[in-house]
Structures are given as C-alpha cells and as structure tokens.
Structure 1
Amino acid sequence: MRAAVVTTFGGPEVVEIAETGTPEPGARQVRIKVAAAALNPVDAGVRSGVFGGAGERLGQGWDVAGTVDAVGEGAAWRVGDEVVALHYGAVKPLGSHAEYVVVDAGAVAKAPAGVDAVHAATLPLNALTAVQALDLLEPTPGQSLLVTGAAGAVGGYALQLAALRGVPATALARETDEELVRSLGAARVATADEGGFDAVLDAAFLGTAALARVRDGGAYVGVIPGAGPAAERGVRVDTVEVSADGARLAELVRLVEDGTLTLRVAETYALDDVVKAHARLAEGGVRGRIVLVP
C-alpha cells in the first residue's frame, strides 16, 4: 500500500510516498480502509523532528475516517462499519496518511451520519483535544474563559463545547476572523491587552503571553503536552495530552449530528500531493483543516 512517511527531518519536501506492506490488525484492533485523513500541525512537527525519531521511518497522520475492512480477535466492530478514529502517537512507523491504517478498537467511533468522510476526518484529534482541555480547566457557568487561537480547529471546537457547558467564551483572534469566531459561539472578541480571565485555553501556543491574561489564582491549559509556561501568581498551569478515547469520540460524533459542532474543511489534496499539502499548511492562515484523500 501507499503511505506518507519521513525518513529525514526538514520542510515539506522531505515527506514522501512509500510502498509498504498492508498492516494486519492484532487482538482488539481493527484495520480501516482510509477514505480521508486530516493534516495537522503535529504532522509538521513530526516532519521537522520536534518529537525525535532520527534514523527511523516515521508515519504521518493522526485522524482517519473510513471503513473497517479487517477485525482482530476481541474487537467489537464489523467489516463494513463506517468509522472515525484517532491514531495516537507522534513516533510510529505508519500513520493514517495511507491507504490503510490499524488502530486500537477502543479508539474508534461510528462516523457521523450524513457527513462525508472528508469532513468527518477533521473531528477526532482536534475535538478530542478541545474537550479534554476543557475537562482540565473545569470552567463553570459564570466564570470567564478566554480561548486563544479561536479561529483554528482546536479553538473553534473549544468555543462550541464551552458554550454547551454554559460558559460563553471570549475569543482571541485576528480582527478579520471576528465574524468566524462569533459564528462558532464566541460571546465576544478580546481586546489586545485584556486580562483577568478565570481560565485560558491556549490553543494558539502563546505560553507566557496567554498566562498573563489569567487572573491570580485562575487556571491555564495549553495544548502542547509538557510545554506549558512556569506557574505564577497562584495560577494552576496544565497541558493536555490527547488520548484516543472512542467513547468520548462517539459523544462528539453525536454533537456533530445534532448540529452542535461544526466540521470545517479548508482544502483537500490527493495523498500523492502530500508535499503540496504540507507546503500549504506551512504558509499559515488555514481556517479549518487540510484533508488528504488516498
């Protein structure tokens, strides 16, 4: 089968399409025939060596939407099931940017009804990151919440999920994105130097600049595992490391089906054009997700 891999670190040009054996599912695993797979900033991080793995062949891709085509012993899925899943792990030999991918059965959820695979593929990594970050923050109605990077994929989901919890969020976003973030549930847009928030979900990786906007004794959660700023002023500082939780993903699927969550696709590329897709991601300004189609 064909799969996107990197064997040396660098820019978009180092990503290559390799011919490799089709993976076989083990116990409590399923193999998914990939219909679509989102490209995320973490893939660029793998490509550039942020997560290590020098000298290894590293697969690309965390998100997948497709059809179960083989089932390992003890996996409660059937061949033909249309599913979405998170294929967790930065340093792995094969990812979801491939024709087939094997994932743990517990990472899988039924695909949202009435949604095409390209849009469905934008859900797992970013929505799970957003909801698990909110779980760490534990904002309650009446508290003020700031979401940085609110126009991005994680930030957009965080706005909608916070509103569902009765916590209308303030968005930190460019002026040109104000209409977008309001459509995603932002109650208002923060001013340039506004602070004093009870909680900040830092989806833009601003670090200390985002921490400065938290009131004394408030809470900060970043979305790069282990890379949060040093705590100060009694602020609780944490970072989220997303987990592949199929049950939680199924809850998010239901929110897509009832219209609570908005799936946003920026552009699609053929798998063979993965270098072009990485180059587009590197340009920045992407609203929604870039999606690869085998």
Structure 2
Amino acid sequence: MRAVSYAQFGGPEVLQVIDVPVPEPGPGQVRVRVAASVVHPVDLMLRSGRFPAPLPTGLPYTPGWDVAGSIDAVGPSVQEFGIGDEVVGFSHWLRTTVGTHAEYVVLDATGLTSAPTGVPATESATLPTNGLAAAQAIDLLALPAGSTVLVTGAAGQVGGFVLALARVAGLHATGLAGADDREFVESLGATFLSRADDPTGTFDAVIDLAVIGPTLLDLVRDGGGYVAASPPLRPEPVRGIRTLALEVLPDGSRLGELVKLVTSGDLPLRVADVYPFADAAAAHDRLARGGVRGGVVIVP
C-alpha cells in the first residue's frame, strides 16, 4: 500500500509517498481503508524534529491522526463493526506512531464509531481528534448550564467545536479570535472578543487554546476552572481555580455522540483545503503559513 512517510526530520520536503506492507488487524482491531485524514500542527512539529518528548518508536514515521473510511478487515473479538461499515476515528499517534496518512490503517475498534450519514469523508475526517479535544475540554470543566466560559483561539478547529458544544450544553461562551472571525464566532451563539484587545471580564472558566497562558487566570472567578491546551502548559492553581489540561484520547462512544450532533446540524464541520498524498508537502506548508480556518485534509 502507499503511505506518506519521512525517514529524517526537516521541512515539508522530507515527506515522500512510499510502498509499505498492508497491516493486519489483531484481536479487538479493525483495518480501515482510508478515504481521508487531516494534517495537524503537531504533525509539523514532529516532522521538523521539534517535539519535546521521546516517542515509542524511531524513524521512519507515517504521520496522521484522524481517519474517515470503511472497514476492510476485522480482527478476532470484534462484533460492533463489519466489512464495509463507514467509520471515523483517530490514532493516538504519540503513543503508537501508527499514522493514518496511508491507504490502510489498523486501529482498536473501541476508538471508532459510525461515520455521519451523507457527509463526505473529507468533512468527516475533520471531526475525530479536534472534536474529541473540544468535548474533553467541556467535559473536564463540568460546568452547569448558564455558566460563562472564555475560549481563546475560538476560530480554530478545536475552538470552533468548543463554541458549538458550549451552545449545546447551555453555556454562555465568549470567543477570542481575529477581527475577520467575528461572523463565525457569533454564528455559533458566542460573544465575540477581538484578540487585538486585552481580554476583559470575569468568567466561570477559560479554555486557553491559543496558549495565552496563566495571565488568563485573572479573568476566572474564585473557584472557577481553567483548561490548558496540553499538560505541560497547565498552570498551578490559585484562588481555588481548578487548572486542567487537554490530552485527547480515542473514545468511540463519545465520538458517536459528536457524530449525532454533526447529523443534527449542531456541530458544523469545516474544510480548508484537500490534498492528495503526492502533495503532502504542500499540505504541511499550507498549515504552517497559518490563518487556516478548517481542516487541511489528505486523501489517498
């Protein structure tokens, strides 16, 4: 099968399309014929050799987390899926280095769920990793309906999902984003706050996806909540504020709930660009240039 791969760290030019063996599913696993995947900022960091932690295996790597596709083979003990089922899910790349920018990928069945009906794979692929990250942020805070939450990076992929899920949960969200993103933020029922201005106000919680940092704790009420974009960024708690951090994990059940929200129209999906495997370097370059609104999608 063909897969995007790199055997050395560097710029987008190190990405190549190579032939590798088709993987076989083991107990509890399925093989997915990949229809679409997505490039994430962490993929760029990993490819450049700038990731600050050791990885479970060495080079070469096939990048890619999200997957939308169809079940191609089923391992022992899998009962929830059959051959031909359309699914979405993601690979926890940092734990396994199993990449989804390949024609086939083997994943645990428990991390997958049925794909949203009638939605193109290029759109469905934008949901798993970022959607689950947004859901986890909301779940970590466990705020009652009517609570207020400030979301930084509100127009990004995770941020947009957070705003949508906040509305579903009955929360009053304020989205910090660029001036051009006002319409998008307000379309999700959130109050717009320009990132050109110093954020003000008092909130029950903050979800800091733009990595502004601990200064945002000044905007959180005593005993409120703060979610950092990753564990190393979690600040020490002050004034009884619970400080938490995102560390998204595969969860087929929770992902299934998100798929229902996509189907109902409560969780919009956004695609910025679609690239074939052969143009993986261009996809990485597009994301690196910034200002992307929607997923940068990779297709075989």
TM exceeds 0.5?
A: yes
Trace 1:119-268 onto structure 2 (pairs within 5 A).
119-189=123-193, 192-268=198-274
Q: Could you say what secondary structure the match of 1:85 adopts? A: strand
The residue identity in structure 2 corresponding to 1:124 is P
> Is the 8 Å Cα contact of residues 52 and 91 (structure 1) preserved in structure 2?
no
Query: What is the aligned partner in structure 1 of residue 71 from structure 2?
Result: 68
Q: Distance in 2 between matches of 1:187 and 1:139?
A: 18
Q: Distance in 2 between matches of 1:212 and 1:152?
A: 23
Q: Distance in 1 between matches of 2:65 and 2:143?
A: 28
Trace 1:41-120 onto structure 2 (pairs within 5 A).
41-49=41-49, 50=51, 51-53=53-55, 55-76=58-79, 77-90=81-94, 92-120=96-124
The residue identity in structure 2 corresponding to 1:153 is Q
Q: Could you say what secondary structure the match of 2:231 adopts? A: coil
Q: Distance in 2 between matches of 1:257 and 1:55?
A: 39
Q: Distance in 1 between matches of 2:114 and 2:97?
A: 25
Q: Distance in 1 between matches of 2:68 and 2:164?
A: 22
**1:91, CA displacement in angstroms?**
5.2
Query: What is the aligned partner in structure 1 of residue 39 from structure 2?
Result: 39
**1:59, CA displacement in angstroms?**
2.2
> Is the 8 Å Cα contact of residues 236 and 243 (structure 2) preserved in structure 1?
yes
The residue identity in structure 1 corresponding to 2:63 is Q
Q: Distance in 2 between matches of 1:238 and 1:134?
A: 11
> Is the 8 Å Cα contact of residues 130 and 155 (structure 1) preserved in structure 2?
yes
> Is the 8 Å Cα contact of residues 264 and 287 (structure 1) preserved in structure 2?
yes
Q: Could you say what secondary structure the match of 1:23 adopts? A: coil
**1:280, CA displacement in angstroms?**
0.5
Q: Distance in 1 between matches of 2:203 and 2:24?
A: 49
Q: Distance in 2 between matches of 1:27 and 1:141?
A: 41
Change (3 A) 1:272 1:210: farther
The residue identity in structure 1 corresponding to 2:155 is A
Q: Distance in 2 between matches of 1:150 and 1:226?
A: 21
Give CA deviations for 1:142-189 in whole Å, capped at 9, x if unaligned.
Answer: 321001100001000000101111102000011111111111231343
Matched-pair identity in %: 50
Question: How many residue pairs get matched?
Answer: 294
The residue identity in structure 1 corresponding to 2:270 is R
Q: Distance in 2 between matches of 1:47 and 1:213?
A: 36
Q: Could you say what secondary structure the match of 2:22 adopts? A: coil
Of 201-210 and 132-141, more deviation after overlay is shown by 201-210
Change (3 A) 1:2 1:112: same
Give CA deviations for 1:43-96 in whole Å, capped at 9, x if unaligned.
Answer: 122213314348522221110000100000111211100110111122544300
Structure 1 unaligned blocks of 5 or more: none
Trace 1:5-44 onto structure 2 (pairs within 5 A).
5-44=5-44
Structure 2 unaligned blocks of 5 or more: none
**1:243, CA displacement in angstroms?**
1.2
Whether 1:276 aligns to 2:279 is no
Q: Distance in 2 between matches of 1:215 and 1:48?
A: 39
Q: Distance in 1 between matches of 2:279 and 2:189?
A: 34
Root-mean-square deviation (CA, aligned residues, Å) is 1.7
